[in-house]
Amino acid sequence: MAWSTRELAGLAGTTVNTIRHYERVGLMIEPERKHNGYKQYGVQELVCLLRILRLVALGVPLAKITDLGADGQDTRMLLQEQNVDLARRIRRLQRARADVTAILRHDAPPDSPTGFVPVASLLSESDRSLLHISNQLYDDAAMVDLRQMMESDANGGVVGKEIDALPADADEVTRKRLAAGLAPILVQHMVDYPWLTNPAAHLSKSERATKATFVEALAALYNPAQLDVLARAGQLAQAQFAHEQLNGDDWMSDEVDHSAGMRQA
Residue 79 lies in a domain: no
- My answer on whether 154 and 62 are in the same domain is no
Q: Count Cα neighbours of 220 within 13 Å in the Cβ-side half-sphere.
A: 9
Residue 246 lies in a domain: yes
Pairwise CA distance, residues 87 & 81, whole Å: 10
Residue 104 lies in a domain: no
Please, which residues bridge with residue 138 across strands?
A: 203
Please, which residues bridge with residue 33 across strands?
A: 39
**What is the domain-level CATH number for residue 49?**
1.10.1660.10
Given this model, what pLDDT does residue 129 score?
94
Indicate the pLDDT class of residue 262, thresholds 50, 70 and 90: very low
Digit-coded pLDDT (tens) for 152-199: 776 556 788 899 999 999 999 999 999 999 999 999 999 999 999 899
Of 66, 83, 99, the residue at which a domain comes to its end is: 66
- My answer on whether 56 and 151 are in the same domain is no
- My answer on whether 163 and 249 are in the same domain is yes
Residue 101 C-alpha from the chain's centroid = 16
Pairwise CA distance, residues 254 & 264, whole Å: 15
Residue 76 lies in a domain: no
Please give the residue range of the domain that contains residue 177.
119-264
Given this model, what pLDDT does residue 2 score?
85
- Burial environment of residue 37 by CB neighbours within 10 A (0 to 12, 13 to 18, 19 or more): exposed
In the chain, the percentage of residues whose pLDDT exceeds 90 is 61
Domain total of the chain:
2
Contact 160, 154 (CB under 8 A): yes
The pTM for the full model equals 0.67
Residue 86 lies in a domain: no
Residue 137 C-alpha from the chain's centroid = 12
Residue 101 lies in a domain: no
